Copies of this chain bind each other. A is one copy, B any other.
Amino acid sequence: MKVKEIMDQEFIIVSSNEDLAQASMKLEEHRKFTAPVVNADKKLMGWITALDVTRGLREGQERVSDIMHGKEEIVHVHQNDPARIAVLAASQHKVVSIPVLNDADMLVGVVRASDIVKTLSHLYEIKVDKIFRAMADELKGVSWEELMEASAIVTRRRTGKMVTALDYEKRIKDSTFGEAIWATGGLEKFFVGLIAIGELVIARKIAKARK
């Protein structure tokens, strides 16, 4: 996934010679805490934040150029960068949005922390059930019931808790990937549990075929 796939192409811009009060009203109208400063060629010149605008107004500044941060001071990414570069930048610099440039240094989008949260959280919201359905499809000759039975056996072995195949089926229908990795103690442990289940159903399938 590339930056351009998660960026927002709807954004407000200000120019460096724009009146500060006007820029302030623009931010407010669009409910944005920050905005990129561009020139007539749409090249990124800098960045303003609502905090700097307020300070500027309080101190009697008149133009965007009086309070803007120059391009060299701000984090920006290229539209063809891997999306994870923008994610890491947002996490590291704790910024609410990051300007996105094309090869000509023109501003083509903005990546917002809220968009990143949305993209990342989609993964967490996948139902565990869906992963098991994909697993059942992949393991030819293993029925859904056999898979649930093996899952219950592995769970009993690992946790010591009495869990039936039906309990297990109900549990994975209700839980998401995010809950499952937190409940099992991390991504690797979650996968290892799935592999153990896979190993058991395959062993049982082979044993059945030999009979």
Q: Which A residues are closer than 8 A to B by beta carbons? A: 1, 21, 24, 27-28, 31, 33, 49-51, 53-55, 57-58, 82-84, 87-88, 90-91, 94-96, 112-114, 116-118, 120-121, 123-126, 130-131, 134-135, 137-139, 176-179, 181-182, 187-189, 191-192, 194-196, 198-199, 202-203, 206
Complex CA–CA separation, A134 to B27 (angstroms)? 49
Instruction: Choose among B1, B28, B55, B206 the residue that contacts A55 (Cβ–Cβ < 8 A).
Output: B28
Nearest chain-B residue to A122 (Cβ)?
B91
Complex CA–CA separation, A189 to B138 (angstroms)? 10
Q: How many copies does the complex hold?
A: 2
Nearest chain-B residue to A55 (Cβ)?
B28
Complex CA–CA separation, A49 to B27 (angstroms)? 12
Nearest chain-B residue to A191 (Cβ)?
B131
Show 8 residue pairs from A and B whose CB-CB distance is below 8 angstroms, ordered by the A residue: A24-B58, A31-B51, A82-B179, A113-B116, A138-B195, A139-B195, A195-B195, A198-B202
Complex CA–CA separation, A144 to B42 (angstroms)? 53
Most chain B beta-carbon neighbours within 10 Å: one of A21, A83, A135, A137: A135
Instruction: Choose among B118, B187, B206 the residue that contacts A91 (Cβ–Cβ < 8 A).
Output: B118
Complex CA–CA separation, A114 to B1 (angstroms)? 20
Contact partners of A94 in chain B: CB under 8 A: 112, 114
The reply to whether A181 and B51 form a contact with Cβ atoms under 8 Å apart is no
The reply to whether A124 and B87 form a contact with Cβ atoms under 8 Å apart is yes
- Least CB distance, A202 to chain B, in whole angstroms: 5
Contact partners of A124 in chain B: CB under 8 A: 84, 87, 120
Instruction: Choose among B21, B53, B55, B187 the residue that contacts A123 (Cβ–Cβ < 8 A).
Output: B187
Contact partners of A194 in chain B: CB under 8 A: 191, 194-195
The reply to whether B181 and A123 form a contact with Cβ atoms under 8 Å apart is yes
Nearest chain-B residue to A112 (Cβ)?
B94
Complex CA–CA separation, A54 to B156 (angstroms)? 59
The reply to whether B135 and A192 form a contact with Cβ atoms under 8 Å apart is yes
